[in-house]
Each structure stands twice: as C-alpha cells, then as structure tokens.
Amino acid sequence: MTINIQTSITQALQKGFGAVLETPWESIDPVLKKSQNQEHGDFQANGAMGLGKRNGQNPRELAEKVIEHTDFDGLVESSEVAGPGFINIRLTNDAIVMQLEAMSGECLGVTPDAGTHPVAIDLCGVNVAKQLHVGHLRATIIGDTLARLFERLGRKVYRENHLGDWGLPIAMVLERLISSGVDLDLLSLHDLNIAYKDSQLEARDDFSGVRAAENLQSGPHRFAELEEQNTGALESQTKAKAVLNALQRGDESLHLQWEKLIDCTMRSVFASMDLLHVKIGPEHSRGESFYRDLLGSVVQEFKDSNLAVEDNGAMVVRFKNRERPMLIQKSDGGYLYATTDLAAMKFRTQTLCADTVIYVVDARQRDHFKDLFDAAKLIGWDKTPDGEPIEFVHIPFGSVLGEDKKPLKTRSGSSVTLQSLLEEAIEKGTAEVIKRAEDPKSPTHTMSKEELATIGRQIGIGAIKYADLSSDLVRDYVFDMDRMVAFEGNTGPYIQYASARISSLLRKGGGVTGVAPFILQEPQERLLALQLLQYNNVLHDTVKHLEPHRLCTWLFELTETFSSFYQSCPVLKNEDPKIVSSRLRLADVTGRIIMDGLQVLGIEAPEQM
C-alpha cells in the first residue's frame, strides 16, 4: 500500500494544530495544497488564518506555534510562516525519492476508488435509422472516458447505450421501408437515411406542432426541431401507429423486420465507435425497447404511491418546488420518453444495483433530468436494494460550434455527420504525419504508407477527443481542426508526441536498469518528481468531479515539466552512470504515466510519430 506524502503531512499538521488549540485533531482541516508559487515551497497550509480567527488567536502566532508542535517525521526540509499566516513547506529529497520509489511499480501508485457498487453510465444515445452526427460525439467520448476512469480505479461500470429503437419515429421508418418494398436483408444505411427523411417529409403538411410552439412562446431550438420533425402529420402518423401497435402486440414477422433495421444501424454505429477508439459494442446496447414491458408497471407504481395524478387525461408527477410537472403517460394511454427513462432508472438502481448513475446528455435536457432524478427520489429509487445511497448525475455538456459560433452545420445547413468529421480529422492527422516523415532524421522516415496512415488516424482521432475533453464540459466550444491537430500547445498530439519521444529515448538508452536509485539534484529533476507524485490524486480528483479536463490539464503540465527536464538534464550523455540510470527511470515513469493517462482518455499513444 502506498502512503501518500500529502496525507502524511496533512495528518502531522492536524496533530500540530490539535496540540496548540487543545482540540481533537481529527476534525481539523489545515487546508494543505500545492504551492501556487514554487518559490514559496512545495506545499502551503492555509488553515491557520481561519482557525486563528475562530479561536481568537493571531493567525501568524498560531502558525508559528503549530510549526513548533508539528512532527513531520523527516519528510520536511523546511517549514516557515509567511504573510498573514501561510505555512510554507518544502519536502526533503529523501521523502520525494521514497514516494517516487513506491509509485514506480506497475500500478503507478494508483489506489482503488472506495465505492463498492457498480456505476451506470448512460452514453452515446444513438437513434436507430438515423446517422450519427456531431451531437453524438460528446455523449460518446465523454461517457467512454468517465467509464475508463472508473474502471481504472477498480469500479465495475455498465456502459448503457440507451438506443432510440422504439416508438413512433422508428415505426414511421419501418412503415416506409415496407411500403416501398425494400429488401430488408440488403438494407444499407443509405436506404435507412432516405427512408427516415422520406418519413419526415410525409409529415410536412401539418403545422399544428409549429403553431403550438408559437403559442407556448417556445425557444428557437424547439421551434426548429418541431418544424423539422413535424410529428403531427395525420396520415403518415395513422399508418405508423398501426405499425407500432402491431410491433407492440408482438407481431412476429414485423418484429424480425424491425430487428434487421436495428442491425443495419448498429453495424454502422459500431464501426464508428471502433474508429473513435471507444469501448462501445453490442453488449452495451440496452435500448428503449428493452424497457417496453416495464412501462405500465412503472406508471402504476407512481399511481399506487399517489405520486402520479391525472391532469387533462394524462398522468403527471408533480413536484413541491416547481410548477412544471413531469408527464409520464399521455391522455391516449401512450408512454413517453420520460416513462422509459424512469423504467431505465429503476433497472439501473434496483436491478444493476448501481450506486452512481450518470447521464452524459447535452445541457439542453437539464430540466428533464432534474425531473427524472426528483421523481426517482420520490419513489425511493435513490437507494440500492442493499441500502446504499445513490448519486444521480447529469453531465450537461455544451454544444460543438462552427466558426460562426453557431451549432456546427455543413455549408448546406444540414447537421454534420460524425463520419465526415472523423474523416476530416484522420486526413489532417495523416497529412501532419506525412509532412514530418519527410525529414530524414525522423524515425517515421522509412515507414510504409500504411504505417503512416495508422499513426495519422491515431493522431487525428486523438486530437478531436483531446480537444473535446480538455475544456470544461458545460461550455460550448468552437470546432477548429487545425488547432486541435497542432503539435504545439495543449493538444492531444503534443502529449502523444512527448510520449513517443520518451519511448524513443528509452529504446536508445536500452531500457531501464532494475533498481537504480532516483537521484534528484537538478531543480528540473525535483520538479518532475513532484509532478509525478500527484498522479493518483489527479485521477481521484477527476473522478470526484467527473471532469476529464482536470486530467488533461495535468497531463499537459506533466508533459511541459518533462520537456523542460529533458532540455536541461542530459540523460544518455551524462558521464555518471548512476545519473543516467536515475534519469532513464524518471523518463520511464513519466512515459508510463502519460500512456496510462491517455488510455484513461481513450487516446492511443503511437510509439513513433
């Protein structure tokens, strides 16, 4: 078991404060954090200011007394009071080396997460018969990264790809395909897209939905969506409803045809997932149809608890602190997506026993998830069957914008397909690799076209994913491929490049020699070591906040710290073999951590690039 140096110092300070203030030390928070300014030391404790005030003592004097009464057990080289009462702490090199030694093993000092129950992550959110587009990009890669993060920390994860594979839109497409006589065994995604669009076009002549939107003072998005979908069209809706009814009754031949439609969509979806290097396959599909037989009982359960009441013929759940109710059954008896989501919530919490349920769905659905979570709490699905409290989280990510700062569209105004986006990324990544391979000094110079293409794909895809994950999720971001694929700055390729250079260095250095001790003489060596020690903390911090950009930022800092070290500390050329071994080990640990971190982000790390 790895003992964390930060924890040790925190505890020492707690005891110091406890002795001076004559209170139980366990409840004291010394507010220990990394120093912002390197000149101040390695860590700083800010607790004396607040505690001094609360106990009627001068913060500076308190801090000084605390230092006198704190036994750092040889970990600390110096500790001194500064400013209004900061305690600045500098570690001994021995303490750093010891800690570094402890974390340099295979697991890189990563400790398991404390959670004992599985985590369910709703991600991707594809719709059958509809091509993947930009909107699916974020729901997919953010979800996959969070899943990888939990898995890295030893948690069991259910990736829940909640397919839109049921309901009227699907029935419309199915009806359309059957009536146009398409052979479903030879169905292509292209056919599906045409059928989808045609079924939408059929609904063009009824604008009741649009008028309703106007009357409700709906926002522009809602308006456009209704205009696009026009779900109110009478004739096609009647036909589609008949198909849906037959499906729901369990009509066998229709059901077979429905499955073919799904197979066709999913083949293409999984191909994209593969290209994106995302772990989503058939085993993660649990679509709306999975819950179709549970919907009635879910509504009944809410009725029985008096949580659902009738309103204008529909069943709604009301909440104490807001006007807006949640509609769970239509006046014609039909169910809505909210009903399906409730059924899924019950399944995830009560059957899968997840104590953390995460929804990676864009920010526009905030209200819906607020309702869903509150309804789940009302009915009692906020505890697992064995009594563990459940945490519900919606990750409300922002939109991907074009250069005009409006949601990304093609020149003709249609939404950008995921396929075309990925193709562009791969093209740019490959161009970058080929350009660099022209240099005779580059190790990629002698590579075949195919090898370069593989690396180009890894770079292009990595660039997109890193750009997406590296900023605060709730914010919109402008999609700028040239910036994403640059080898400079806070980008995926920059980090991949550092990793490749380290691989190259280790190859030339003949790998790492067993148990050579770490020697930290130069400031850059020390800084690098200190950075490496934080890896475990960063992973836990990232999972705590569910914010992948924390890991990205840290990896970028690590990469810069390493570059600085590599620039000023000769490795192979050094005349002292002990220094050579030590520096090779520093490079080795850095390289493995970068690769491990990239793995968590779902980004491949080419050996050469």
Partner RNA sequence: GCGCUCGUAGCUCAGAUGGAUAGAGCAUCGCUUUCCUAAAGCGAAGGUCGCAGGUUCGAAUCCUGCCGGGCGCGCCA
Q: Considering only residues 7 through 46, tell me which ones interact with RNA, judged by CB under 7 A.
A: 29, 31, 33-37, 40-41, 44, 46
Contacting RNA within 230-269 (CB under 7 A): 231
- Nearer to RNA by Cβ, of 478 and 516: the residue is 478
Identify the residue among 97, 98, 336, 393 touching RNA (CB under 7 A).
336
Residue 511 carries which side chain, given as an amino acid letter? G
Q: Does 321 bind RNA (CB under 7 A)?
A: no
Q: Does 221 bind RNA (CB under 7 A)?
A: yes
Let me know: does 566 contact 527? Beta carbons within 8 Å: no
Neighbours of 186 (CB within 10 A): 9
Q: Does 477 bind RNA (CB under 7 A)?
A: yes
Neighbours of 563 (CB within 10 A): 15
Q: What is the DSSP letter of 406?
A: S
Per DSSP, the three-state class of 173 is helix
Which listed range, 11-19, 149-157, 191-199, 316-324, lies at the site for RNA (CB under 7 A)? 316-324
Contacting RNA within 496-515 (CB under 7 A): 497, 500-501, 503-505, 508
How far is the C-alpha of 245 from the C-alpha of 252, rounded, in Å? 12
Q: What is the DSSP letter of 50?
A: H
Q: Does 307 bind RNA (CB under 7 A)?
A: no
Q: What is the DSSP letter of 573?
A: T
- Nearer to RNA by Cβ, of 279 and 409: the residue is 409
Q: Does 377 bind RNA (CB under 7 A)?
A: no
Q: Does 570 bind RNA (CB under 7 A)?
A: yes
Identify the residue among 441, 450, 514, 515 touching RNA (CB under 7 A).
441
Per DSSP, the three-state class of 602 is coil
- Nearer to RNA by Cβ, of 33 and 435: the residue is 33
Contacting RNA within 357-376 (CB under 7 A): 363-368
Least CB distance to RNA at residue 470 (A):
7
The DSSP code sequence of 192-216 is HHHHHHHHHHGGGG--HHHHHHHHT
Identify the residue among 71, 74, 78, 82 touching RNA (CB under 7 A).
82
Question: What are the CA-CA distances from residue 474 to residues 344, 395, 452, 548, 552 (Å)?
Answer: 25, 8, 35, 12, 16
Identify the residue among 101, 214, 311, 423 touching RNA (CB under 7 A).
311
Q: In sequence order, what are the residues at sequence separation of 6 or more whose Cβ sits closer than 8 angstroms to the Cβ of residue 199? A: 169, 172, 173, 175, 176, 236, 240
Q: Does 310 bind RNA (CB under 7 A)?
A: no
Contacting RNA within 85-124 (CB under 7 A): 86, 88
Least CB distance to RNA at residue 403 (A):
10
Least CB distance to RNA at residue 316 (A):
5
CA-closest candidate to residue 285, choices 344, 338, 334: 344
Per DSSP, the three-state class of 404 is coil
Sign of CA dihedral 569, 571, 577, 579: positive
- Nearer to RNA by Cβ, of 18 and 30: the residue is 30
